[in-house]
Structure 1
């Protein structure tokens, strides 16, 4: 059913500031931008997914809802959109697994700069049945243009999106049994909590359970993003030169990985960069 993660929507207060921040972070230029229906949008399309920045524009129900969600936050992760090969088959499956999908809608979007158009079909699962995480499913008619590198050592793609949960059994049932993602790892560690890695195309949906007092057992939360880089030292040097506050590079949990944390310039979204060692050639 699901072939990959098509895009992630991040709500932001100021589309101009967010665009500039993410062009600096990613080292890439926006690939698409438009306005309408209460929102300004800027899209960065990498090798394996798209990040869609969306800010409220004007005063209508959509814009007011986004402002309410943002409250006093600079930005937040708002929804996941999975890529599918056949939206009608996906709709039937979502219905069979009791996720109450919306009717399939046909959508068109035009880029304000080039005038190019994209077309897709989509549906949305009922958010109360996806543990509070908004999920869309999309069949795209044409591929989006890629974001061109605008600086040295750009980010290549997304490595994983992190979701926190207070109920790992129900989260596993949602992402594994109902959505059909492959559970590649299920591990518990006294320092990290329970980690579940679900394969989604060439990236990972990571579900983390770290119980906290008074946590919401009925709702999960989109928590953060881990971006993939080819040379983490070069990317760190670029970000430091741009004035960002970043951690030192350290070894990751998985052998052969090196990571660093980006502490600002992300619109308040938890952000990690990750480098994987090349696989040995046989």
Structure 2
């Protein structure tokens, strides 16, 4: 008898999928007002939340299917110094991937049973600096040393966040996909598929751009990309790039170009039935793509 297979098939229902979506992404920046201005221009939307806590100040943009959190150091505490050091060593960019879960306690048990050494579930409450409105959630986090260097949080929200209203024509509607770069596709696939329970919908090898694996996560796609590069870090993956959905790519591009953002000419996307354009500036150094789904 294959003992390993037998144990896998007989595991508790609590080990079933508990992730429902990508909740939000955290981007570390050194100059929060400048980053907020850049993303208000890029997204064509106003911030929905502005808070501070324990040495960090953050602003949230909340779209139809996720939030983007811009975070900067505030003051001189330990957290502020950690953020400054991270930006100094790694530059501005993604810091954390936060999944939405239906039950944080259940997710904690899954992570614990799979050996990902989760933090105890914490109850969190934050307040908007302007309105005083409260946001509450429960969260846990997997040990970063066991998630190939990517900081993974798991959040159960008490209520939906306020949305970011449009402030320009042709605003960004939602996130389409997030790209993670890996030097070890087999281990990355095991983490996001077998261990976290995301559904792999594509595994393709291409002679020009390497291996591409796609995992469905609610309304999002998590793309794990392996591009063989000499000297790459075999032990650590990287949150690399993001793709935003737009209804009208030409109008969105025209708006951004008029605002001084560099955007390439539209072209056919790799996914059939899509048009895309690459944003070359104004994204806090995060590789960024605009995507239009053709009807």
TM-score range relative to shorter protein:
over 0.9
Does residue 232 in structure 1 map to residue 249 in structure 2? Answer: yes
In 1, Cα distance between equivalents of 2:291 and 2:220: 12
Query: Please, which runs of 5 or more residues in structure 1 have no aligned partner?
Result: none
Does residue 136 in structure 1 map to residue 153 in structure 2? Answer: yes
Map of 1:71 onto structure 2 = 88
In 1, Cα distance between equivalents of 2:124 and 2:117: 20
- The Cα shift of 1:147 comes to 0.4
SS in 2 for 1:171: helix
Q: 2:76 aligns with which of 59, 64, 68?
A: 59
In 2, Cα distance between equivalents of 1:57 and 1:150: 27
Does residue 188 in structure 1 map to residue 205 in structure 2? Answer: yes
Q: Deviations over 1:124-155 (max 9, x none)?
A: 00000000000000000011000000100000
Relative distance call for 1:150 and 1:73 in structure 2 (3 A) is farther
Map of 1:252 onto structure 2 = 269
Query: Please, which runs of 5 or more residues in structure 2 have no aligned partner?
Result: 1-17
- The Cα shift of 1:36 comes to 2.2
Structure label with greater radius of gyration: 2
Q: Which stretch of the first structure deviates more once superposed, 172-181 or 58-67? A: 58-67
- The Cα shift of 1:73 comes to 6.1
In 2, Cα distance between equivalents of 1:132 and 1:211: 18
In 1, Cα distance between equivalents of 2:104 and 2:256: 40
In 1, Cα distance between equivalents of 2:154 and 2:278: 30
Contact 1:28–1:154 (CA<8 Å) still a contact in 2? yes
Does residue 37 in structure 1 map to residue 45 in structure 2? Answer: no
Q: Deviations over 1:24-81 (max 9, x none)?
A: 0000000000122111100000000000000011111111111111116662100000
Map of 2:7 onto structure 1 = none
In 1, Cα distance between equivalents of 2:224 and 2:234: 14
Map of 2:232 onto structure 1 = 215
Map of 2:9 onto structure 1 = none
Contact 1:73–1:268 (CA<8 Å) still a contact in 2? no
Q: 1:85 aligns with which of 87, 102, 107?
A: 102
SS in 2 for 1:223: strand
Give the count of matched residue pairs: 278
Does residue 16 in structure 1 map to residue 33 in structure 2? Answer: yes
Map of 1:98 onto structure 2 = 115
Relative distance call for 1:254 and 1:95 in structure 2 (3 A) is same
In 2, Cα distance between equivalents of 1:74 and 1:248: 28
Does residue 174 in structure 1 map to residue 207 in structure 2? Answer: no
In the TM superposition, structure 1's runs of 4+ consecutive aligned residues that sit over 3 Å from their partners are none
